[in-house]
Structure 1
Amino acid sequence: MPRDSVLVLLSVVFCFSSVVSTNSEGTALITLRTRLSDPSNVLRSWDPTLVNPCTWFHVTCNSDNHVVRLDLGNSNISGTLGPELGELKDLQYLELYRNDIGGKIPDEIGNLDNLISIDLYGNKLEGTIPNSIANLKSLRFLRLDHNKLTGSIPRELATLPNLLVL
């Protein structure tokens, strides 16, 4: 193979690999999708072959093409949440209210420093409220009512400076 062809091929491979590596948010959302049952087909636009999840319904991105809002409230979905939510580093609004989501709230939710609102009310979530939520200094709204959560509300939540609704 001529040297120029090898250089072109390496350039294409490098460009493609950098696009794939910057798509951790898309990978995280596709992983979440595999955990969910979607009888109403609201996630039909979540196509793993698309480079950018910003074109998917129920996903909002900022001008830098980072996911800032996931809005699947009242969507008739069920399943569980997983640690992949922690990959959505720019997420500000997590709207999953009034569905049939069960299991535990993943500890990794506490890695989302930009979260302003977590709306998980009206699901079937179990277990305790993760202490990691106390890491979310930007959090204003935390709605977890009408679930099957047990235990006490973590005392650390009282230290959140912007929390208005609990």
Structure 2
Amino acid sequence: MLQDVLQNRVIVFVCAVLCTCCSPSQKNLDEARSDNVSQQNMTNYAQSDDPLLRVATAENTNTPSEILAQLAKDEDEEVRRAVAENPNTSIEILGVLAQDKNQLVRDIVASHESVSVEILTVLAADSKWEVRLSVAVNNKTSVTTLQKLIQDENEEVKNAAAKNLEMRK
């Protein structure tokens, strides 16, 4: 009986150590999201093997542009999505993300408040109608691009482009 209790305690201890070593602590996640995270820690979190820390870093509005540029090329689509959602992501980085293989990332770029007319024009030709729909409803989309989207094969995209044009009159 005592041996079973000791064995269970050893297993619990080993699991606790492994969880601590292999996943970010709540403290690290909180710091990565914090306004007070140091530049060095932010750099470390952006290079972490743990995607949760990289996502938290990408979401932080104080993350410097050079770190966001690095994270925009991350293998994990959730990290790239977080970069696309960050309101401080630069137009240059949004241009990179506009070519992302993941539709949701491109869709978020099309809805970003800082997206350029040029990026919207490129995204208007996206293979996914959901991305084109985001372009059609964006107030920054040029009249020329909206006129092209009125001819789209998807009814929702057509209607959204027509509505956007009508609101401008």
- How does the TM-score come out when normalised to structure 1? 0.39
Q: Which structure ranks higher in relative contact order (CA pairs < 8 Å, sequence separation ≥ 6)?
A: 1
Q: In proportion to residue count, which structure has more helix? A: 2
* Bigger Rg over Cα: 2
Q: In proportion to residue count, which structure has more strand? A: 1
